[in-house]
Amino acid sequence: MSQTLTLRRPDDMHLHLRDGAMLAAVAPESARDFARAIIMPNLVPPVATGAEAAAYRARILAALPEDAAFEPLMTLYLTEATDPADVAAAAASGLVKAVKLYPAGATTNSHGGVRDLTKVRAVLEKMAEIGLPLCTHGEVTTPEVDIFDREAVFIDTVLDPLRRSLPDLRIVMEHITTEEGVAYAAEAKNLAATITTHHLILNRNHLLVGGIRPHYYCLPVAKREKHRLALRRAVTSGNPRYFLGTDSAPHVDALKEHACGCAGCFTATNTMPLLAHVFEEEGALDRLEAFTSLNGAAFYGLPPNSARLTLVKSAEPTAFPDKITSGAGPVTVFNPGFPVHWRVAS
């Protein structure tokens, strides 16, 4: 006998769609289940101005199926040359919903990111004035800091001083991975945190034990089991400060299965069934809608979606595709490593 769960159509508050042939392949995967998504700007070259964001949005819309009901919510890539007036104009027009801070070298296509926060102070002050959120890739990149400690050190040395100096700046801690991140986001003013699907499933053993599994490699990297459990407690707590940002990040297999493989898990295809599985394991299916469909919209000042999505649980495991094809090459769909009995109703 099947079981059903109906909730408001979800939003993905942290999504990579890439560009060109990859965009054409992956955009329909997100549009199938999600109503809106905060689109990451780390293209090559990055989406750094309002004009570039408008052009990228047009390319996204052109890549969608004709019947898709999907709204890309655009962001700007913060650089040390960003013009505060351009940011304010893009926000006032309704085009841009946030600005993304990449510490230089932190992740894919972040080489043009910020090295010195004092050089973007005027932009941050303008954002605080107009209420435009700053989305942070929350890791330091100094080589002496262990990769598993980069998030905690970022909180202590970058995020907390920034919030103390600009208390009115609204900030999203993107894809948190640690119990320190969970604790910091829990009560702080003007602060929220996204949590990915894959970090609720993976710990660092999944990546490293029995051989390196490149399709589980992401940044921030998966941490110890205690951190995964802290993330699960956060998303099922009902606290509105936590919401879904999949960080679904497609790379062709040739660049994942490589001597210096790219970071990112492609979860757009099966995120909602995987989350239903996780929330059911935690006895919290009644809180899935808040995490996926309500909390993020509230933080960004958006109305909840009126359309609904229904998940169905069946006795037989759901068969997800192993890969999707793109003009750039095959992309492996995230495999959780266990049977999932939930699917999105067609």
| pLDDT confidence bin for 110, thresholds 50/70/90 | low
Q: Where are the domains of the chain?
A: 3-344
Cis-peptide into 45, omega within 30 deg? yes
Two tokens, residue 9? 């159509």
Give the distance, in angstroms, between the CA of residue 108 and the centroid of all CA atoms in the same chain.
13
Residue 106 has pLDDT above 80, yes or no: no
Instruction: Let me know the angle formed at the C-alpha of 22 by 14 and 338, rounded to the nearest 5 degrees.
Output: 65
Mean pLDDT of 106-133: 88
Active site residue 11: no
Residues 3-344, CATH architecture: Alpha-Beta Barrel (3.20)
Q: 232-268 b/e with 16+ CB inside 10 Å = b?
A: bebbbbebebbbbbbbbbbbbeebbeeeebbbbbbbb
User: Could you write out the three-class secondary structure of 299-319?
Assistant: HCCCCCCCCEEEEEECCCCCC
pLDDT at 108: 66
pLDDT at 115: 87
Cis-peptide into 220, omega within 30 deg? yes
Mean pLDDT of 108-135: 90
Residue 346 has pLDDT above 80, yes or no: no
Tell me how far apart the alpha carbons of residues 13 and 97 are, in angstroms, rounded to a whole number: 11
| Residues 202-252 pLDDT 10s | 999 999 999 999 999 999 999 999 999 999 999 999 999 999 999 999 999
Give me the half-sphere count of Cα atoms (radius 13 Å) on the Cβ side of residue 50. 15
Taking alpha carbons only, the member of 235, 252, 251, 255 closest to residue 243 is: 235
**Mean pLDDT across the chain:** 96
- Kindly report whether the global pTM for this prediction surpasses the value 0.85: yes
Residue 103 has pLDDT above 90, yes or no: no
pLDDT at 42: 95
Tell me how far apart the alpha carbons of residues 218 and 126 are, in angstroms, rounded to a whole number: 32
pLDDT at 2: 79
**Active-site entry in 11, 86, 247, 286:** 247
| Residues 178-199 pLDDT 10s | 999 999 999 889 999 999 999 9
Instruction: Let me know the angle formed at the C-alpha of 268 by 263 and 269, rounded to the nearest 5 degrees.
Output: 120
Instruction: Tell me how far CA of residue 324 lies from CA of 28, 207, 320, in angstroms.
Output: 11, 22, 10
pLDDT at 187: 83
Give me the half-sphere count of Cα atoms (radius 13 Å) on the Cβ side of residue 297. 19
pLDDT at 112: 78
pLDDT at 111: 73
